[in-house]
Structure 1
Amino acid sequence: MDRSWIHEPNRLSAKFLKGLYNFILFAKASARDGRFACPCRKCVNMHRFSPGVVSSHILENGFSPGYTDWIFHRDPTSQTSDSSYSHQNDDGLREVDAQEQHGVQQFLEDMAVGSDEIENSRSTRVENDWGDSSTIDDDTQPTEAYEYAKRFHDLLEESDEELFSGCRKHSKLSFILELYNKKCMYGWSDKSFEDLLTTMRETLPEGEKLPESSYEVRKLIDALGLDYQTIDACPNDCMLFWKEHIDEPRCLHCNAYRYKEETESSSTSKRNKIRKGVKVLRWFPLIPRLQRLFMCKKTASLMRWHLDERRDDGYLRHPADARAWKDFDSRYADFAKEPRNVRLGLATDGFNPFRSLSSTHSSWPVVVTAYNLPPWLCMKQSSLFLCLLIPGPKSPGANIDIYLEPFIEELIHLWEKGVDTYDAHAKTTFKLHASLLWTINDFPAYSMLSGWRTKKGYGCPCCGFNTWSKWLKHEEFRGPPVRMTGSCIRDLWDSNGSTRDLNGTNINITEGCKKKSIFFRLPYWEYNRVRHNLDVMHIEKNVCDNILDTLLSVRGKTKDNVKARFDMQEMGIRHTLHPFELSTGKYRAAPALFEMSSTEKKQMLRVLKHVKVPDGYSSNISRCVDVKHKKISGLKSHDCHVLLHDLLPVAVRGCLKDRVARALIDLSAYFRELSSKVLKVSRLEEMEVEIGEILARMEMIFPPSFFTIMVHLVVHLVEEAKWNGPVQYRWMYPIERYLMTLKAHVGNKAYPEASIAQWYIANEAITFCSRYFEGVRTRFNKPARNSDDMDLLRTEDSPVNTTSGHPIGKVENIILNPTSWVQAHRYVLYNSKEVLPYIEEHKDEIKRKLSSRNRRNNASRLIEIEKVHHSTFVDWFKGRVARLEEMHDPRFTAELKGLARGPNYGVRQFKGYITKGVRYHANCREEERKTQNSGVVVATKTSSLEGEILNYGRIVDMIELNYFERFRVALFKCEWVDVERGRGLKKDAYGYTMVNFSRLIHTGSNIRDEPFVFADQVRPVFYIKDSQEPDWYVALRTKPRDTYELGDELVYQSKNADQSLSVENVGRASEDENWVRNDLHPVVFEYVDPGVAATTSVMSEDEA
């Protein structure tokens, strides 16, 4: 074993710490009662201590330089090593069998290997400006670095200390870590956790070593984690008090005092009192957190997923497939050579930590994600890093750059210098670099981060100074605006120059930009094509609200009000919609083409009120629908997402004029395709043209006031998808969920940011530790709600190829009637590979018998063969296998005999089943529920129709066949609509699939009927009752949550493949265009004041 580390002058170096850790592991072999001789310079092997004390002594006093033979610690070079000592690998690290070492020991070992890199990041002070650490001699040690190293090595003692005398399964440390993991995973409060500790101390044998309080547990957990730094900020957001300004008492810009409730005179008289800043930024350094991703073997290997396992076939499934990633690689080839270099995305948004609408407090976390990880990890909460916590009570606004300075300096350091990082998977050290690809934010935060003014005439940050904010009478005869590049913005700021808009007017840069973003300090930022992402989540919310408020004429929110009509009058357009003043002082106007009557509004709302969606598909949207008052309120962002994608297009069919309905349905199809998890570049290019045409059609329907900046931004979403990849990696949904988690852990409402920071540090540590737990349920292996990992049906020798699944709810034992028994058993036989040759043999035998009896045409013979085959195959097959057994035919197998015998008539019946991540219910279970999980669709091939057809149905029963304990099979009994003759299936005018359950293909009562399918063969679908034809339902297919299409099954942009864009040709607008609904009464507006919302009512026939 290498002993050169004992002469290392820097006792916090990687070499010394790794050598010390290996020595402690080695010396444990000589321990008696958990103690062994201490070889520090003071003790010189004269005293025995626990491993933690020995490591502390060696760190403080140094290793005795003359003690190199280690005779007091059973050196294997001087005597035969004990069998309990494990061999060393080439790096001097101890290798242990998995059965010998608990996951916590492996965790400590990995931390020891990477401790130098983490320690460098931790001990580097903010004011050093990323300077190199000085060499540490025997007499001088920085307090912060020493305390960290001491805390780490104290954990060795905790990891060896028994929980109680005789406990072999857990040490004190491993037990506390697993218990705290459960606290974090299940959301236990600190009080409940302390009560549990009290109960355990009373239950466990005397001498237990459990902590007294949750505070002591938190101190132990914090020793495993990474720390954060606090930096005072100016109360007016002018500057940070750090680096060379760390000791300044006042702001250098506004002269504001940095501390709370103190004057300068009182601060001098109370020098020993700790002064608290008015605003305190909490900075969680990113570098050590990125290094930790490579300290664990599991995550270190996944950081190369984008290179090693990603399929590169032209489809966009991950940011690495997109053009921005590839362009960055081609521009910076040296960065791209190392696949472990990290690509980052930054997200920020404000939230109220108090869960009270009466409070206006706004905290602003800055969150970072690493895009090297695979799709199922990179946007999960366990993979998000909280880098900054900007204090409230107000939004930092454009001054957010002040708070971003520490983070930007880290990024610059990571780009220009990099950091030495240990890769636990490759067992090598490499220079880690990182780059920021883009930011994720809503539109107000877009303005804060980019510096672009989003509320004025040049409000579109994508069009920039090419924004055309004037409504044109007819069409816009110009090409699409060119997106402003980062280099263009940088050059304009550097020269304080001007540019020209589309009218040729000179414009100063400050008219469009309020600041030069701090991100331009990054050397590569100006070359990133899409630097700030438009948030699809909030755009969908705004567009959906616009549509619903206008269609339902919601007072104060509709875009078709008297002011909108006066705007059209001032523009001289749509003369038939101009308002006319009545003698009463009110205004009369013709109803617009998109107006609905009261009956039509109620008809549309009833569809939404009575819709039932699958479990986990969305919230209960019907709670937001008020049919009586004809309004929808309280919609959340995801509610609008579901409405805009699927439900609203179904609801408006038959309620709006065809021209209006088609435009809205096509807009929904556009958003649905855009939100697909797999995109195709050629299809995106087509959508870029289609969305322009869709918006043009909508401009010929809705008033100009409808087209706010959020509606305009829709046209830019396809371009960003082409450059940056699927929207799932760039929208705010995962970030908003993470903010909700942070909000839930505000324990002390007097210090909300401090509460969040303390929780994050502990949660971060336990998240990292939980990757090492074996046989323990953690957030990484916790089954999903609809997990099908519980495989209760399959057996090793099952001749039927079915996947895993398990029943839910009450299970009953019933006796199957003979008809159902034959139907179910026959379906199993038809889908067994071993039976296929006998199916053909049976049909050939029937053909020979029928051909000798009659001379019917070929089609009639085929139908007759199928009927006879269905009715007789089960008995024929049983006899055929019996003859094979009698003749000792080599084709005879035990599996064939089991299949021929058939299942037991006694079956298990259940009302719920989970398979492939989908929850299914029998139809009878949904009567009192708000969800619908009985709808299924199966793709089959039939003898009467060539090719594959889709069979739509709903589950009426669920059973499990038991083939006398040889194997078991789960089957769904369904009622199927008639798709063969077309009686129960049709397409409507908009491309939607419609089914009719009063027209079934069979009742299931005849022995020839085939009502059964395997549980894993079906795919989920749900049905919405049509508002025009009561017996018909619109069928919408869905996909299970948390599924990722990685190329094995190529399905792209096809959530509901039945319904796609049907963009019509858009002709040139004309003043002769019919803007009015002539079948409705005129609308009356009461125009009060420009600052007050106008009232809208429908005129009576007499007034009209």
Structure 2
Amino acid sequence: MWTISDFPGYAMLSGWPTRGANACPNCGMRTHSAYLKNGHKFCYCGHRRYLPDGHRMRLDRQSFDGTMDFAAPTTPITCTELEEQIRDVPTTYVKDDLITQHLAHRSRKRRLYEHEEVLGWKKKSIFFELPYWAENDIRHNLDVMHIEKNVCENVLHTLLGTKGKTKDNLNTRKDLQLLNIRTSLHPIPRPNGGFYLPAAAYTISSSEKKIFLSVLKNLRPPDGFSSNLSRRVRVEQLSIWGLKSHDCHVLMQKILAISLRRALPREVVLVLIELCGFFHSMCLHNNSVRQLEKLQERIALTLCHLEKLFPPSFFDVMEHLPIHLVEKAMIAGPVHYRWIYPIERYLGTLKRYVRNRAQPEGSIVCGYLSEECMSFCLRYLGGVKTKENRGPRHDDQGCTTGCGIGGVEEPTHIVEGTVTDYMKTLARGPNRHAIRYTSCIVGGLRFRVKSIDDGKKTRCAGVMLNANTMSFASARDINPCSGTVAYYGMVTDIIEVQYNNENKHLLFKCDWVDPERGMKEDEFRYKLVNFSHLMYSKNLPTDEPFCLATQARQIWYIDDPIDGAWSVVVPMVKRDNYDVYTMIDDRFNNRFSLDYGYCSRESRDYWVRKGVEGTIVEGEQLGNVSVGIQSHLGESSDEETDGAPM
């Protein structure tokens, strides 16, 4: 048994504080944290300790905090250590203890944290009364949904420079100056007051922000893929607002890296692609132990590269927690059994029962009882369509070949075949009249023809077909080899061919992109197609634009903001309650080797993005900058605390 909650709820259930120097419940008292004096908060870096011994990043002073890191990775505490820690901890909060604690720490925000006593457990969870609770490998789960949402928002607000939410501001640059690292990013005082903040490697200019936001504004995903994300984007104000948890999930899994590929330098985009790829791999339902071990190595390397690019203030506890997600998955299995999506949906249902805000609990009870009574009565109403027995959003009515919507009967030009004893139905040929549809549902997915699709907010006309073809190495080759070729297109017509009442087939007529002229891969290995180069543009009798609806796979396209003729291919998967967009073909997985070497010591502009103007901010002049920050992990050697030479 384990518990599932958000991170503040984790502290209430477990008794371990989820803020302060030891905010990570997995690392415990060995959490690697440091207090930022100007930012007035803790940062949680030090992910080099999770790299293999002898890794060259462990020796890299300049790219990180000016020290080398030879520490061993933190390991979960044993049952004996846990019992020793919670032996004298009370099970409930005592009023006198709370008053004493409040008086001792009432000015904690203004005190220097390096001189403050490090606290551990706040209370002993009542779950420890269970005889097996202390021996559980997992007692409380880290919720992937909230971690993914917070990481996505931190990345978005930092890149867009959202006021009050960005992790890169004047206090961030002052902390860099206190640490004596990344001197090229230090704030520069101006003669007339204020500071000039040089553009960092992840800084986006106003024109590039508009490119990035225009991609999100013009998104047209398939029906049922996500909410209308374009409503959350304000291009003129250069901001994004009101993202829900599932919106952040869709952005991290599919869209964020694609939309940023034209707005950021290559080294930044590669790291973000790996970060998005980690969350995608974590959400897979069929990961093996070997795959998870490789994923643990990838996330450690990805977080180290994030440390090289982003400032320490970027790394709050939510940026640290992904390092522990793989450990949990190895023990407890796939995350879709342990995240809070279904619980949040049910809580939303209970909130909708509230009619009297003065008595919300009573409203929920009345609404729940009414729902139960209605469900009981509806069991005696056979043949009546209710919310209990209604079909899914895209119901194909159990038809394996697809179900058309809005059909019009039209004559066909198919010649009847000769009747034989074998396959009589097919030999007779189809009926002379076929039905033309504007949309259909196949396998729980909705397809529409392009002429209707152009006027909709969603795009359901994109299809992909994997075909086995014979290929030759040259004109003289007499030994062809077979292989699978992917064809991409748009549905232009949907026709149902009927052989008899039981034998019907839906056909898609498509505009197929020429694989040689209309397809390419960009530098980030994304598939791009160009519908200006089609295979069958002359509409000849020998053309073969048709395919069975059951053979086609739905995809959708994101238009390239720089070259409008090209579009990025994005796969579409049927969504259900647990498996949210995880059945993705390997051809859409972009994985890169991020393990590049040292930052050149002569390159002072490694963290500065050239060609982008910095920011002018108001602020007070800096005082003494010779004081560094103290790590709560212990004292470091004199060699490790020296500043990074620039």
TM superposition score category, shorter chain reference:
0.7 to 0.9
Counterpart code for 2:492? V
Q: How does 1:55-74 map to 2 (within 5 A)?
A: none
Quote the offset at 1:565 in angstroms.
Answer: 0.3
Quote the offset at 1:592 in angstroms.
Answer: 0.4
User: 1:806 pairs with 394, 397, 403, which one?
Assistant: 403
Question: In 2, are the aligned partners of 1:676 and 1:1055 still within 8 Å (CA)?
Answer: no
Quote the offset at 1:1003 in angstroms.
Answer: 2.8
Question: In 1, are the aligned partners of 2:262 and 2:561 still within 8 Å (CA)?
Answer: yes
Q: Which residue of 2 aligns with 1:953?
A: 489
CA distance in 2, matches of 1:1001, 1:641: 36
Question: In 2, are the aligned partners of 1:1037 and 1:1056 still within 8 Å (CA)?
Answer: no
Question: In 2, are the aligned partners of 1:939 and 1:951 still within 8 Å (CA)?
Answer: yes
Structure 2, unpaired ranges of 5+:
35-44, 46-64, 91-113, 472-480, 623-646
Question: In 2, are the aligned partners of 1:533 and 1:730 still within 8 Å (CA)?
Answer: yes
The yes-or-no answer on 1:542 pairing with 2:150 is yes
The yes-or-no answer on 1:457 pairing with 2:24 is no
Deviation per CA, 1:555-605: give whole Å up to 9, x if none: 121111110000000000001100111111111132101111211111111
Q: Which residue of 2 aligns with 1:915?
A: 442
Deviation per CA, 1:697-752: give whole Å up to 9, x if none: 11111111111111111111111111111111211211111111001112333321
CA distance in 1, matches of 2:230, 2:154: 19
Quote the offset at 1:766 in angstroms.
Answer: 5.6
The yes-or-no answer on 1:1084 pairing with 2:582 is no
Question: In 2, are the aligned partners of 1:937 and 1:953 still within 8 Å (CA)?
Answer: yes
User: 1:677 pairs with 282, 285, 310, which one?
Assistant: 285
Deviation per CA, 1:1003-1035: give whole Å up to 9, x if none: 371222111111111111111011232211111
Deviation per CA, 1:608-634: give whole Å up to 9, x if none: 111110111111101111111211111
Q: Which residue of 1 aligns with 2:357?
A: 749
CA distance in 2, matches of 1:1044, 1:734: 8
The yes-or-no answer on 1:1001 pairing with 2:535 is yes
CA distance in 2, matches of 1:447, 1:496: 15
Quote the offset at 1:548 in angstroms.
Answer: 0.9
The yes-or-no answer on 1:815 pairing with 2:411 is yes
CA distance in 1, matches of 2:273, 2:308: 16
SS in 1 for 2:570: strand
Q: How does 1:964-1043 map to 2 (within 5 A)?
A: 967-979=503-515, 982-1003=516-537, 1005-1042=539-576
Counterpart code for 1:462? N
CA distance in 1, matches of 2:147, 2:434: 52
Q: How does 1:878-897 map to 2 (within 5 A)?
A: 878=417, 881=418, 892-893=421-422, 895-896=423-424
Q: Which residue of 1 aligns with 2:136?
A: 528
Q: How does 1:610-689 map to 2 (within 5 A)?
A: 610-689=218-297
Question: In 1, are the aligned partners of 2:571 and 2:584 still within 8 Å (CA)?
Answer: no
Q: Which residue of 1 aligns with 2:87?
A: 494
CA distance in 2, matches of 1:605, 1:1052: 25
Alpha-carbon spacing, 1:743–1:1072, altered in 2? closer, same or farther (3 Å): farther
Question: In 1, are the aligned partners of 2:573 and 2:583 still within 8 Å (CA)?
Answer: no
The yes-or-no answer on 1:693 pairing with 2:301 is yes
Deviation per CA, 1:211-235: give whole Å up to 9, x if none: xxxxxxxxxxxxxxxxxxxxxxxxx
Alpha-carbon spacing, 1:530–1:983, altered in 2? closer, same or farther (3 Å): same
Q: How does 1:895-906 map to 2 (within 5 A)?
A: 895-896=423-424, 898-906=425-433
Question: In 2, are the aligned partners of 1:486 and 1:526 still within 8 Å (CA)?
Answer: yes
CA distance in 2, matches of 1:908, 1:589: 65
Deviation per CA, 1:309-334: give whole Å up to 9, x if none: xxxxxxxxxxxxxxxxxxxxxxxxxx
Question: In 1, are the aligned partners of 2:573 and 2:584 still within 8 Å (CA)?
Answer: no
Q: Which has the higher helix share?
A: 1
Q: How does 1:242-257 map to 2 (within 5 A)?
A: none
SS in 2 for 1:1064: coil
CA distance in 2, matches of 1:925, 1:1035: 20
Structure 1, unpaired ranges of 5+:
1-436, 498-504, 792-802, 823-874, 886-891, 1046-1050, 1091-1104
Alpha-carbon spacing, 1:1059–1:691, altered in 2? closer, same or farther (3 Å): same
Quote the offset at 1:646 in angstroms.
Answer: 0.8
> Larger relative contact order (C-alpha < 8 A, sep ≥ 6)?
2
> Greater CA radius of gyration, 1 or 2?
1
Deviation per CA, 1:628-657: give whole Å up to 9, x if none: 121111111111111111111101112100
SS in 1 for 2:208: helix
SS in 2 for 1:946: strand
SS in 1 for 2:2: strand
Q: Which residue of 2 aligns with 1:716?
A: 324
Q: Which residue of 2 aligns with 1:181?
A: none
Count of residues paired in the alignment: 558
Quote the offset at 1:913 in angstroms.
Answer: 0.4
Question: In 1, are the aligned partners of 2:409 and 2:435 still within 8 Å (CA)?
Answer: yes
CA distance in 2, matches of 1:626, 1:484: 47
SS in 2 for 1:970: strand
Task: Give the TM-score normalised by the residue count of structure 1.
Answer: 0.48
Counterpart code for 1:645? Q
Question: In 2, are the aligned partners of 1:438 and 1:532 still within 8 Å (CA)?
Answer: yes
Quote the offset at 1:973 in angstroms.
Answer: 0.8
Q: Which residue of 2 aligns with 1:1054?
A: 584
Q: How does 1:391-540 map to 2 (within 5 A)?
A: 437-470=1-34, 472-474=65-67, 476-485=69-78, 487-495=80-88, 511-540=119-148
CA distance in 1, matches of 2:69, 2:521: 36
Question: In 2, are the aligned partners of 1:577 and 1:589 still within 8 Å (CA)?
Answer: yes
CA distance in 1, matches of 2:619, 2:116: 37
Question: In 1, are the aligned partners of 2:401 and 2:504 still within 8 Å (CA)?
Answer: no
Alpha-carbon spacing, 1:695–1:474, altered in 2? closer, same or farther (3 Å): farther
The yes-or-no answer on 1:604 pairing with 2:192 is no
Question: In 2, are the aligned partners of 1:951 and 1:976 still within 8 Å (CA)?
Answer: yes
Deviation per CA, 1:846-871: give whole Å up to 9, x if none: xxxxxxxxxxxxxxxxxxxxxxxxxx
SS in 1 for 2:71: coil
CA distance in 1, matches of 2:88, 2:13: 21
Quote the offset at 1:1055 in angstroms.
Answer: 5.8
Quote the offset at 1:989 in angstroms.
Answer: 1.5
Quote the offset at 1:455 in angstroms.
Answer: 1.0
CA distance in 1, matches of 2:4, 2:25: 14
CA distance in 2, matches of 1:761, 1:1056: 47
Counterpart code for 2:522? D
